[in-house]
Amino acid sequence: MNAGGPSAHPVPAAVAAVVLLCLLLTGGAHPCADAVPGDGPDDGMAVLRRSAAGDVAYTAIREMTGEAGHGTPPTRVVDRPGDGVALIPMTGGADPFVVADSPFKELDERLLATLERVYTVTEAGVGEVDGRPAHTVEAVRANGTVAGRFWVDVDTGVLVGGSVYGRDGRDVLGFRLTDLEPGDRHWPEEVTEDSPWGDVLTPGEREALRADGWVLPENLAWNLSLIDARATVHAGHKVVHAVYSDGLSQVSVFSQRGKLDEDAPNGVRGGSTGTGTGGTGVTPQHETIFGGDGGRYHGMWQADGFVYTVLADAPTDLTASAVTALPGPDDSGFWSRVHRGMSRLGLL
Amino acid sequence: MSREHLGERLSALIDGELGPADHESALIHLAKCESCRFEADMMRRLKRRLHGLGEPEPDLDFMGRLVGLSRGDGPGGPDRGPSEPPSGGAGFGSRPPLGSSRPLGGFPDPGPTPPPAPLLTEETVVPPERRTRRRGERFSHLFPTLPGGRYAVAGVAVATALLGGAFVAGGETGDAPVVEPRLSDFAVEHAVTSRVIPVVDTPPSQAHSGPGPDLPTR
């Protein structure tokens, strides 16, 4: 061996390489360090599960909170176990709205399971809502920030409040129940119940749809799981409604095979914009179809022979994760078309 | 050599990379070996296609009649000798005979003129400056001069075909029906499942009646 050669001191060189590798691996925080499930005792789940299983009839006034609920009028809420939940507008001429209760028992459990998986759910003592003592339960991200809070009335077990917070700590969306009283004397007997679409898609049916080209993933993001999938038929065409949630917020993805009409107006009330053929009227980056910084979002576009409509009551980052996980709006550019073609040919 | 096939030397022959002696022996082998001749023909066609120079061969019958004209009362006129080329360019007779193409692999580098190969008895020597403009070599400066240049050319061709195919496949699907999402219905469905129930301006039953951009507000 040549003593003067570069291999004369192999050990220091190897050590330096290992040290450099370690620095690269550990020197900087991952940009999404909190994009992992929260790890904790989840001692707050018992409080939420008792509340979900409660069968107390009550009447209250619901007020929306957070930036997404700003300016919305109060609504009277009547919960009649076994029948459903009625919302009765207290201003204007809007009609009462009744949601049947039966489809939600299983859905509630899936939501709670998702909440438990994604966040650390802890009981944070007893607070106060409208002068009544309430258990405070927090959903905490892996980085220690609070993603959501629930308030459960100590006396009745009714969920009397909830808030969803963005990563910047802003109160994006929430509600409070005030004037809580037992009984259902305001129940609108004349109103028929609304139920979700009846055709619940089983795992086998979902798999068959995927094989047929439908985009229906079990997870849109690490923290957005499919908790419900239903289908109906509009004008002879199947429409699939997939509900994704992190346990706090819900994102609805409606997909239907087809394309948008070039002659149809693109503008949708509320600031969102649907796409025209070729993705015109919206940027592929999705930012321009956000309805706002948070809260209710609705967007509509076409991609790969399907039309997607997304409705969400969620923080912006969560909605963005959902939207970007779906096929992007069709782009008429050369490379986009090549990329799309390669996907169709199975090369990507 | 006559019993062994040309192998790798075949592509060198096609590219005109063989020395004079090797070139001559390769041509002799080609004259005797049908297999190598077929392979050389295929390689030559491939090379021509890759270079995009698949020029149509002149119609032999038409060219024959032109030759007849040039030897008689053609455009050159009766005063001009049959072998005298017309003014302004090479005349018939100064080019290879009709129906024949250039020999496989072109011509060797300057050197002793090889004896005529059995297949090339009427081939004439082309000046070096014209050889550089031969078919297939006209655009040779566009391609790498590396030893694996032909592989690069093939790679470019494959990439081009792939991109073209993907571009065609990525076009709009013509069989997709035109749909108009019923946003009102979707909003109610979303509200029912999320139970962030909206305060609607119109009863939900009316919202179901048809498509429209009426999104309820909370």
How many other CB atoms sit within 10 Å of the CB of residue A307?
25
Are residues B38 and B117 both part of a single domain?
Answer: yes
Q: What is the identity of the amino acid at A199?
A: D
| Res B98 pLDDT > 70 | no
Among A50-59, A248-257, B193-202, which is the least confidently predicted range?
B193-202
Domain that residue B23 falls in: 8-140
> Smallest CA–CA separation between A11 and chain B, in Å?
40
Q: Which of A245, A309, A334 to probe the B interface (max B CBs under 10 A)?
A: A309
Handedness of CA A46, A52, A56, A59 (dihedral sign): positive
Task: Report, as an integer, the average pLDDT of B143-149.
Answer: 62
| Res A303 pLDDT > 60 | yes
β A219-221/A199-200 pair status = unpaired
pLDDT tens, residue by residue, B56-81: 566 677 777 777 666 655 444 444 44
Distances (CA, A) of A6 to A1, A3, A18, A19, A20: 10, 8, 18, 19, 19
Measured distance CA(A300)–CA(A274) in Å, rounded: 5
Task: Report, as an integer, the average pLDDT of A90-101.
Answer: 75
- Is B3 domain-assigned? no
pLDDT at A140: 93
ipTM: 0.75
> Smallest CA–CA separation between B206 and chain A, in Å?
11
- Is B136 domain-assigned? yes
Residue, of A237 and B131, whose pLDDT is higher: A237
Which chain B residues contact residue A75 at CB under 8 A?
A: 197, 199
Tokens of residue A73, six digits: 């009028």
Measured distance CA(B5)–CA(B23) in Å, rounded: 14
B169, B181, B92: which is closest to A346 by C-alpha?
B169
- Is B20 domain-assigned? yes
* Torsion angles phi and psi, residue A58, rounded to 5: -150, 165
CA A105 and chain centroid, separation: 19
| Cβ separation A69–B173 shorter than 8 A | no
pLDDT at B21: 84
pLDDT at A269: 39
Q: What is the fold of A199-344?
A: Phosphorylase Kinase; domain 1 (3.30.200)
Which band of pLDDT confidence, cut at 50, 70 and 90, is reported for residue A234? confident
> Smallest CA–CA separation between B173 and chain A, in Å?
7
Which band of pLDDT confidence, cut at 50, 70 and 90, is reported for residue B139? low
- Is B146 domain-assigned? no
- Is B104 domain-assigned? yes
| Res B54 pLDDT > 80 | no
> Residue A281, exposed/middle/buried by CB under 10 A (0-12, 13-18, 19+)?
middle
Residue reference for tokens 């009765």: A88
Are residues B190 and B113 both part of a single domain?
Answer: no
Measured distance CA(A200)–CA(B82) in Å, rounded: 91
Across chain A, what does the average pLDDT equal?
78
Which chain B residues contact residue A347 at CB under 8 A?
A: 166
Which band of pLDDT confidence, cut at 50, 70 and 90, is reported for residue A252? very high
| Res A244 pLDDT > 90 | yes
pLDDT at A118: 93
| Res A60 pLDDT > 80 | yes
pLDDT at B137: 56
| Res A321 pLDDT > 80 | yes
pLDDT tens, residue by residue, B162-174: 888 888 877 766 6
* Torsion angles phi and psi, residue A165, rounded to 5: -115, 140
Residue, of A292 and B143, whose pLDDT is higher: B143
Residue, of A149 and A270, whose pLDDT is higher: A149
| Cβ separation A243–B168 shorter than 8 A | no
User: For residue A153, what are the β-bridge partners?
Assistant: A134
Measured distance CA(A300)–CA(B166) in Å, rounded: 26
pLDDT at B200: 41
Task: Report, as an integer, the average pLDDT of A265-284.
Answer: 42
Are residues B19 and B91 both part of a single domain?
Answer: yes
- Is B80 domain-assigned? yes
Query: Residues in chain B whose beta carbon is closer than 8 A to a beta carbon of chain A?
Result: 163, 165-173, 176-183, 185-201, 203-204, 213-215, 217-218
pLDDT at A19: 57
Among A140-149, A191-200, A277-286, B144-153, which is the least confidently predicted range?
A277-286
Are residues B112 and B20 both part of a single domain?
Answer: yes
Task: Report, as an integer, the average pLDDT of A39-46.
Answer: 82
pLDDT at A263: 55
Check: CATH 3.90.76.10 for A45-182? Answer: no
Percent of chain A at pLDDT exceeding 90: 32
pLDDT at A235: 84
Measured distance CA(B13)–CA(A120) in Å, rounded: 74
Q: Which of A272-281, B63-72, B177-186 has the highest mean pLDDT?
A: B177-186
pLDDT tens, residue by residue, A191-210: 777 777 777 899 999 999 99
Tell me the Cα Rg of chain B. 34
| Res A124 pLDDT > 80 | yes
- Is B94 domain-assigned? yes
Residue, of B12 and A5, whose pLDDT is higher: B12
Give the end-to-end CA distance of chain A in Å, rounded to a whole number.
49
Are residues B114 and B189 both part of a single domain?
Answer: no
* HEC-encoded secondary structure of chain A: CCCCCHHHCHHHHHHHHHHHHHHHHHCCCCCCCCCCCCCCCCCCHHHHHHHHCCCCCEEEEEEEECHHHCCCCCEEEEEECCCEEEEEECCCCCCCEEEECCCHHHHHHHHHHHHHHHCEEEEEEEEEECCEEEEEEEEECCCCCEEEEEEEECCCCCEEEEEEECCCCCEEEEEEEEEEEECCCCCCCCCCCECCCCEECCHHHHHHHHHCCCCCCCEEECCEEEEEEEEEEECCEEEEEEEEECCCCEEEEEEEECEECCCCCCECCCCCEECCHHHCCCCCCCHHHCCCCEEEEEEEEEECCEEEEEEEEEEHHHHHHHHHHCCCCCCCCHHHHHHHHHHHCCCC
Tokens of residue B190, six digits: 């979303």
| Cβ separation B213–A334 shorter than 8 A | no
Which band of pLDDT confidence, cut at 50, 70 and 90, is reported for residue B118? very low
Count up the domains in chain B and report the number. Answer: 2
- Residue in A104, A237, A334 closest to B177 by CB: A237
Residue reference for tokens 């305060």: B199
pLDDT tens, residue by residue, A133-172: 999 999 999 989 999 999 999 999 999 999 999 888 888 8
Percent of chain B at pLDDT exceeding 90: 2
Minimal Cα distance from B201: which residue of A?
Answer: A94
Q: Bin B178: left if φ > 0, else alpha if -120 < ψ < 50, else beta.
A: beta
Domain boundaries, chain A: 45-182, 199-344
DSSP line for chain B: --SS--THHHHHHHTT-S-HHHHHHHHHHHHH-HHHHHHHHHHHHHHHHHTT--PPPPPHHHHHHHHHHHHTTSTT-TTS-TTSPPTTS--TTSSPPTT--PPTT--PSSSSPPPPPTT-TT-----HHHHTTSTTTTTGGGS--STTHHHHHHHHHHHHHHHHHHHHHTSPPTTPPEE---HHHHHHHHHHHH----B-SS-HHHHTTS------B-
- Is B169 domain-assigned? no
Among A17-26, A67-76, B5-14, which is the least confidently predicted range?
A17-26
> Residue B56, exposed/middle/buried by CB under 10 A (0-12, 13-18, 19+)?
exposed
- The answer to pTM > 0.90 is no
Which band of pLDDT confidence, cut at 50, 70 and 90, is reported for residue B202? very low
Are residues B130 and B30 both part of a single domain?
Answer: yes
